[in-house]
Copies of this chain bind each other. A is one copy, B any other.
Amino acid sequence: MKLDRQQKRTTIYDLAELAGTSASAVSAVLNGNWKKRRISKQLAEKITRIAEEQGYALNMQASLLRREKSHIIGMIVPKYDNRYFGSIVELFETMARDKGFFPLITCTRRDPALEIEAARAMLSYQVDCVIATGATDPDRVTELCAAAGVRTINLDLPGKLAPSIISDNFAGARELTRRILVSCQHRFGSMEPLMFVGGRGGDHNTMERLRGFRQAHADHGIDLDDDRVIACGYAPEKAQSALMERATSGLPFSKGMFVNSTITLEGVLRWVRLAGPVSEQEFALGCFDYDPLVALLGDNIEMVRQDVPAMLARMFELIEHGNFEPNVSEIPPVLR
């Protein structure tokens, strides 16, 4: 790995020499509190000019070593490659920067070991705060960080030891289920019980969505057997093979499906293509997630959009108020 630096970097000592002053003055000028330190305007301007000429860049490592707060804010995300987490990350970066934080983001691919390793790395980089997004074990992260005196906030999936900001999964799922049922009525003339595809039985979001799913069936007086629920995980391959198996198993099968995420939807659609009927038009689908292209292309696919801007706004609110009591904020999702 030939990444040898070409030349030595310019430091405040170099600038001090060039300006005929002290490193202390240079530091004061460049980090903006030259007024507080009673540096004359002329000297300040001279130093600023020389720094620009020399292309000086602050050494953050040195600066952070000395300061007590880093203003670095870490975020752990399970995946980048879907619109939900993509928009979380993108908006988080923007908002963090606006509020004077430096965002440090790590993707842990739903791997519990990687999550812990990533949290540890963030502690090493002296983050002031860690956001655990969709973490498989958020409380583990909170414990680890607490040991170093670093606060955490859970996003998307809740934990018991830190404040959590999640979607109102129950209400969202109930309304989504209602819409799928109505769509079934229109399309097929009847309201059969739906299938629930994707997610992990143990995770809070899946459990709450299932509760909403069941409630909506009850609202319409429809009996729902547990065997309509296929919580096979989020991965497309798992959903695909679970449906394949189900279709040939003799167990009940529905044309109406509640799909737990766009990731899972990919597997459902693959199954529709390969092993199922000709087109997804013969199904009534609903997805607890949002993707603009699916919204445009999937005529018969209802979508729930989690309100990312509201969730992140709430998150920064908690940070700014120093509120790190464990409690859950539920943010209503948006239905198109």
Q: Which residues of A contact B (CB under 8 A)?
A: 1-9, 55, 57-62, 64-65, 68-70, 79-83, 86-87, 89-90, 93-94, 99-100, 102-107, 109, 120-121, 123-126, 128-129, 144, 146-151, 236, 262, 265-266, 269-270, 272-273, 280, 291-294, 296-298, 319-322
Contact = CB atoms under 8 A, between A and B. Distances in A.
Nearest to A128: B3
Given A61-B64, A83-B81, A126-B60, A293 B265 contact: yes
B322 A2 contact: yes
B292 A9 contact: no
Contacts of A1: 99-100, 319-320, 322
A6 B324 CA distance: 12
B89 A129 contact: no
A82 to B, nearest CB: 7
Contacts of A86: 80-82, 86
A265 B319 CA distance: 38
5 smallest CB-CB distances across A and B, nearest first, come from A2-B322, A6-B149, A81-B86, A297-B297, A269-B296
B296 A270 contact: yes
A8 B61 CA distance: 19
Nearest to A297: B297
B124 A58 contact: yes
Given A90-B79, A322-B3, A57 B124 contact: yes
A148 B9 contact: yes
B93 A151 contact: no
B5 A150 contact: yes
A298 B295 CA distance: 12
Contacts of A150: 5-6
A7 B124 CA distance: 15
A57 B109 contact: no
B80 A90 contact: yes
B297 A125 contact: no
A69 B5 CA distance: 8
25 contacts: A1-B100, A1-B319, A2-B322, A3-B69, A3-B151, A3-B322, A6-B150, A55-B148, A59-B65, A60-B124, A61-B61, A61-B65, A65-B65, A80-B86, A81-B87, A86-B86, A94-B109, A104-B104, A105-B105, A265-B293, A269-B296, A280-B297, A293-B293, A293-B297, A297-B298
Given A9-B149, A57-B120, A57-B148, 7 more contacts: A5-B128, A58-B124, A59-B124, A60-B124, A61-B65, A94-B107, A104-B104
A330 to B, nearest CB: 24
A273 B293 CA distance: 12
Among A3, A6, A103, residue most surrounded by chain B Cβ atoms (within 10 Å): A3
A144 B267 CA distance: 45
Contacts of A3: 69, 128-129, 151, 319, 322
Contacts of A270: 296
A267 to B, nearest CB: 10
A109 to B, nearest CB: 7
Contacts of A89: 80, 107
A75 B97 CA distance: 17
A55 B106 CA distance: 21
